Structure 1
Amino acid sequence: MSNTTEQSPVSGVRERAPLLRACAERYRESTPFEALTIGVSAPLTPHTGLFLDVLAAGGAEVLVTGEFGSAHADVLAWLDDHEGITPLSTVGMSETELADARRELLAAEPDLLADDGAYLLSLAHDEFPEAAANVRGACEQTTGGITRLQAMDEQGVLSFPVYDVNGAPMKQHFDNVHGTAESSLSALTSLTDMLVAGSVAVVGGYGQCGRGLARKLRALGARTIVTEADPRKALEAVADGHEVRPMREAVPDADLVVTATGRFGILRREHIEALADGAVVASIGSIIEIDTEAFGEMASDVTRPEPGVARYQFPDGRTVTLLTDGQVVNLAAPNGEGNPTPVMDTTFALMSRGLAAFAEGADLSPGLHPLPEAIDRAVAREKLDAIGVDIDEIPDEQRAYREQWAAHEGSDSPSEKEPR
């Protein structure tokens, strides 16, 4: 049972998260996680607190670590007082301390894992193979994490099944496209006081997060340039109306450069050398995207006018602003709480249902698996119900026609063709 009060950091997001409220009520009755330990690694925001509350309501003993630079003191205090949840992070802990906290979590041999970036999952296989062998299943919700897991899967090292929550349509088209873009824009403008309209904005990567950000920047009046390594995504960016250039050719004209890939080394030393005077640089994908060490090595002076803002003065006279030291800007910015609650409501509902499927006996081979379509559709249906939107039902005759595959006489007549 949750012991939240009206003053808790979670109470406000709970009101705007109908799916997670419903999950908690369901799981409190069915207790799918009874006698199970769930290990969670995620930014310790109010949204994550609500997700952990759902797992505890389902009977789980929850162990949780945060992510570097994203722990909220009020959320940690709330978790400390919450029955069934044990936080292993503290505010301001170093990366080394955070890694030790993850080791402490894995040493407890959890039955299920929920990850954000595959930090727990990779560490489990690297240092805790016996604990990994006993994990029933896991869920991963980020692009960067899935990239790491794809490599592990291709190398045949995954010892338990993992649901690719990031690949689910409800995650891709809402959390990634809209949630990340809107929360990141809010953080960018609050930290810099910049005017987007009329600026030149470079977006590194045209995955779901990158395209969402590029669209919203252009809608606000920015001239958008996209950089890509995938020719198909580059063509999509061109077709969507963005200019496409290599990063080295894009940054000299940029007022704003934002990496959005979750992959290593997107903005490197050669790009930093070419950045325009006055440019603002940030990441919305992962801290590994920007070579922050090169910033420090190349600069002649660094000033920090306010939290989350570092101004690097280079010997040639240029000044470049790096936001949140290259950490994910919508989480690491002061008062950054990640994506909006209505978006995290759907993503954590997907995560909760995925974990429940493993707890209830989903029998999958070790490796990376798509989240079941039935879960994705159920979450979409619940979300529509929650916001009061009705949709059509497929009539029996249309369903029968769609499932028909054999050729029949007269089947090409216009009256029998499926509407297009």
Structure 2
Amino acid sequence: MTTKAIQNSVITDLKLAPEGHLKIDWVEAHMPVLSRIRKQFEQEQPFKGLKVAISLHLEAKTAYLAKVVQAGGAEVTITGSNPLSTQDDVCAALVEDGVTVFAKYNPDPKEYKELMIRALENKPDLIIDDGGDLVSILHSERPDLLENVRGGAEETTTGILRLKAMDKEGQLKFPMVAVNDAYCKYLFDNRYGTGQSVWDGINRTTNLVVAGKTVVVVGYGWCGKGVAMRAKGLGANVIVTEIDAIKAVEAYMDGFHVMPMIEAAKVGDFFVTVTGNRDVIRGEHYDVMKDGAILSNAGHFDVEVNKPELEERSVSVRTVRRNIEEYQLKDGRKMYVLAEGRLVNLAAGDGHPAEIMDMTFALQALSLKYVNERYKEIGATVVNVPYELDEQVARYKLESLGFGIDRLTEEQRAYLDSWQEH
């Protein structure tokens, strides 16, 4: 299988593999839940004889997930889900481990799309998607590759929004498990993972102090909650902008200022978008921003910060530091965009901590097994992760930490199940 992977893969340089192996070994040592599932998969072989295509941010933690799926008997093909988050050394290491890889760091848009299509041309039985790109290509550009697909699992909020739109229109051709909506995903990955990794990316890229600055968090979903919480912990004054009145009240009661974006734009030093929508920072906001404002995005696609409207207002654009573009406006003010407006925590960092992705990728692995076993009865629709799988991952996590929890006695269970007066 290794020879086949080497012959078929499209990567930057196989010689980079030693460094990639070190990265994968490091995260494996800090992902005990996924390692436990790997042992189960090695014994059960749930994917024996099947082909699995994966599109995720291609770094070490994703690589370990690919190896776990491979350990379950699958022939795995993997591609990136963001051109700036792919790590070439990790790609090389995966190829040496027998995984076919179609990914490079920072390919041009045409090649990036072609690499994704190449990953699908293996005609997978199962897919793991991030942002809905594989599903979109299968349904629009390459329906000829749909014939073997039993189902899959989706990683992100953005991807689930796309899937649900397809499902509503009756266009979805196979079942997809909404991994992002699992409790363990949005409570831990979205809040603690995004919260930490966004500031890891911003801090390593800018090397500027956060304490005392004003941070504007655009969107107060689970990712926004994490970003705001960590900004507060770093000593920032935090403003939240929202379109949802309930979330806005929540942000206020969590101790943050709440105001419309047009007002927040006037006072922000750092801006982080986490909405899954487009143009949440746009022309009218640039017109009132302070000189030196730093703009970053933590949503899946690079459409949240409207770069064309920023370019229209600029007389020059230059790269002033790795992953920092400086836009000088006609009136002399300067704005800085991090990581081209792409996911700042991955394009300018290493993504979520390994311990966080341990739980998320455990959900991915178990969800893939679940959809493979039940794809006929599920049908072509979007389904949630079964609670028992969610709870299983949390239980494995507790056990890996050496913690235990209480269990209901029979009397307590009967009390909770009874409607009669006690």
Match of 1:345 in 2: 358
CA distance in 2, matches of 1:242, 1:356: 41
Deviation at 1:221, TM superposition (A): 1.8
User: Is the contact made by 2:60 and 2:90 (CA closer than 8 Å) also made in structure 1?
Assistant: yes
TM-score normalised to the size of structure 2?
0.92
Match status 1:241 vs 2:255: yes
Please tell me the residue identity of whatever aligns with 2:185.
Answer: K
Match of 1:143 in 2: 157
Match status 1:184 vs 2:198: yes
Match of 1:329 in 2: 344
User: Is the contact made by 1:5 and 1:11 (CA closer than 8 Å) also made in structure 2?
Assistant: no
Deviation at 1:5, TM superposition (A): 7.7
The one of 327, 332, 355 aligned to 1:312: 327
Please tell me the residue identity of whatever aligns with 2:65.
Answer: F
CA distance in 1, matches of 2:286, 2:251: 24
Query: 1:59-78 to 2 correspondence within 5 Å?
Result: 59-66=73-80, 67-78=82-93
CA distance in 2, matches of 1:312, 1:259: 18
Query: 1:109-258 to 2 correspondence within 5 Å?
Result: 109-258=123-272
Please tell me the residue identity of whatever aligns with 1:75.
Answer: V
CA distance in 2, matches of 1:301, 1:129: 43
CA distance in 1, matches of 2:171, 2:77: 24
Please tell me the residue identity of whatever aligns with 2:84.
Answer: G
Q: Deviations over 1:384-418 (max 9, x none)?
A: 0001111111111111222223x3xxx1xxxx4xx
Q: Alignment RMSD, CA only? A: 1.8
User: Is the contact made by 1:65 and 1:98 (CA closer than 8 Å) also made in structure 2?
Assistant: no
Query: 1:55-94 to 2 correspondence within 5 Å?
Result: 55-66=69-80, 67-83=82-98, 85-94=99-108
Deviation at 1:163, TM superposition (A): 0.6
Deviation at 1:132, TM superposition (A): 2.9
- State the SS of the aligned residue for 2:235: coil
Match of 2:403 in 1: 389
Query: 1:256-335 to 2 correspondence within 5 Å?
Result: 256-286=270-300, 287-333=302-348
Query: 1:46-57 to 2 correspondence within 5 Å?
Result: 46-57=60-71
Please tell me the residue identity of whatever aligns with 1:368.
Answer: V
User: Is the contact made by 1:177 and 1:210 (CA closer than 8 Å) also made in structure 2?
Assistant: yes
Match status 1:399 vs 2:404: no
CA distance in 2, matches of 1:143, 1:387: 28
- State the SS of the aligned residue for 2:276: coil
CA distance in 1, matches of 2:171, 2:122: 21
Please tell me the residue identity of whatever aligns with 2:270.
Answer: L
Deviation at 1:133, TM superposition (A): 4.8
User: Is the contact made by 1:8 and 1:78 (CA closer than 8 Å) also made in structure 2?
Assistant: no
Stretches of structure 1 lacking an aligned partner (at least 5 in a row): none
User: Is the contact made by 1:258 and 1:282 (CA closer than 8 Å) also made in structure 2?
Assistant: yes
Please tell me the residue identity of whatever aligns with 1:268.
Answer: R
TM-score normalised to the size of structure 1?
0.93
- State the SS of the aligned residue for 1:8: helix
User: Is the contact made by 2:175 and 2:381 (CA closer than 8 Å) also made in structure 1?
Assistant: yes
- State the SS of the aligned residue for 1:225: strand
Q: Deviations over 1:134-177 (max 9, x none)?
A: 32111111111111112112212111111110000100110000
Match status 1:15 vs 2:29: yes
Q: How many residues align?
A: 405
- State the SS of the aligned residue for 2:52: strand
Stretches of structure 2 lacking an aligned partner (at least 5 in a row): 3-16
- State the SS of the aligned residue for 1:337: coil
Q: Deviations over 1:51-92 (max 9, x none)?
A: 000011111011111121111111011012112x10011233
CA distance in 2, matches of 1:328, 1:204: 14
Deviation at 1:130, TM superposition (A): 4.1
CA distance in 2, matches of 1:15, 1:173: 23
User: Is the contact made by 2:305 and 2:341 (CA closer than 8 Å) also made in structure 1?
Assistant: yes
- State the SS of the aligned residue for 1:300: strand
CA distance in 1, matches of 2:339, 2:360: 25
Query: 1:369-380 to 2 correspondence within 5 Å?
Result: 369-380=383-394
CA distance in 1, matches of 2:417, 2:174: 35
Deviation at 1:26, TM superposition (A): 1.1
CA distance in 2, matches of 1:296, 1:307: 19
- State the SS of the aligned residue for 2:76: strand
CA distance in 2, matches of 1:193, 1:177: 23
